[in-house]
């Protein structure tokens, strides 16, 4: 296994801003992206959907190669802030490459220039309702939906779901109570059987140890004396 010191020397071979790495972990797992920070004990790699911190003690080795993030930065560097079409295309490309955060950033720039751009709105999770854009949550609330157990549903559906959940809970409680009562009954019967066996054993012991007297009259005397 490579030592932490050796791994750090690999990390410092290139400037952090230019690194594009595959980080292979002990055990075979891998993170692909670009290292954005490193310390004596940790490597942080931007995988496109966020930054992942990996302890050097878990790293087997690093492989440096160009990444989609590098290509994104190169494309973004050539775009002006007013180039809505360019940022739209970049956001679309980044999404196809699995770069969630960069894709959202590109579409946000599109909205700065074109607030009603349908592709950007939809990519950022907006829906159009009654002629205006709103978040997914706002659209459900506007339509009178409520959120129950992580799902949006009508108030009637939510009430039915609550009643069903309450009924199921009551059934489970009844089953648990029945099991507890059956267990208590079995324990009581086992205890009663144990007590009965103990009493029988004590009775038999007394019978074994009770002295037997024979011929109480004249017992131990010689005839004629």
Count CB-CB contacts under 10 A for residue 159: 13
Check pLDDT > 70 for residue 4: no
Q: Which string of DSSP letters, residue by residue, matches the chain? A: ---HHHHHHHHTTS-GGG--EEEEETTS-EEEEEEEEE-SSEEEEE-SSSEEEEEGGGEEEEEE---HHHHHHHHHHT--TT-HHHHHHHHHHHHHTT-HHHHHHHHHHHHHH-TT-HHHHHHTTEEEETTEEEEHHHHHHHTT-EEETTEEE-HHHHHHHHHHHHHHHHHHHHHHHHHHHHHHHHHHHHHHHHHHHHHHHHHHHHHHHSPP----TTTT--TT-
Check pLDDT > 80 for residue 127: yes
Q: So what's the architecture of 4-66 in CATH?
A: Roll (2.30)
* Per-residue pLDDT reduced to its tens digit, 47-102: 877 888 889 888 887 777 777 888 899 999 999 999 999 999 999 999 998 888 89
Task: Enumerate the domain spans of the chain.
Answer: 4-66, 70-129, 144-184
Q: Which of 15-24, 106-115, 153-162, 163-172 has the highest mean pLDDT?
A: 106-115
* Per-residue pLDDT reduced to its tens digit, 190-215: 888 888 888 888 787 776 655 555 55
Lowest mean pLDDT among 19-28, 165-174, 184-193: 19-28
**How sure is the predictor about 120, in pLDDT bands with cuts at 50, 70 and 90?**
very high
Check pLDDT > 80 for residue 112: yes
The CATH code of the domain at 70-129 is 1.25.40.10
């Amino acid at each position: 296994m490579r030592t932490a010191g050796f791994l750090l020397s690999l990390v410092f071979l290139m400037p952090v801003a230019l690194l594009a790495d595959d980080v292979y972990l002990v055990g075979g797992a891998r993170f692909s992206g670009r290292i954005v920070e490193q310390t004596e004990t940790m490597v942080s790699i931007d995988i496109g959907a966020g930054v992942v911190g990996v302890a050097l003690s878990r790293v087997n080795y690093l492989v440096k190669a160009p990444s989609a993030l590098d290509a994104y930065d190169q494309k973004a560097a050539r775009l002006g802030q007013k180039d809505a079409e360019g940022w739209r295309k970049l956001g679309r490309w980044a999404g196809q490459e699995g770069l969630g955060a960069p894709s959202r950033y590109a579409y946000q720039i599109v909205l700065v220039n074109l607030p009603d751009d349908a592709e950007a709105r939809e990519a950022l999770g907006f829906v159009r309702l009654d002629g205006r854009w709103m978040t997914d949550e706002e659209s459900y609330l506007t339509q009178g939906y409520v959120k129950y157990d992580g799902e949006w549903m009508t108030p009637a559906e939510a009430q039915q779901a609550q009643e069903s959940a309450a009924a199921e809970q009551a059934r489970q409680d009844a089953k648990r109570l029945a099991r507890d009562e059956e267990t208590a009954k079995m324990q009581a019967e086992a205890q009663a059987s144990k007590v009965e066996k103990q009493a029988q054993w004590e009775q038999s012991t007394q019978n074994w140890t009770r002295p037997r007297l024979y011929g109480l009259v004249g017992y131990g005397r010689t005839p004629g004396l």
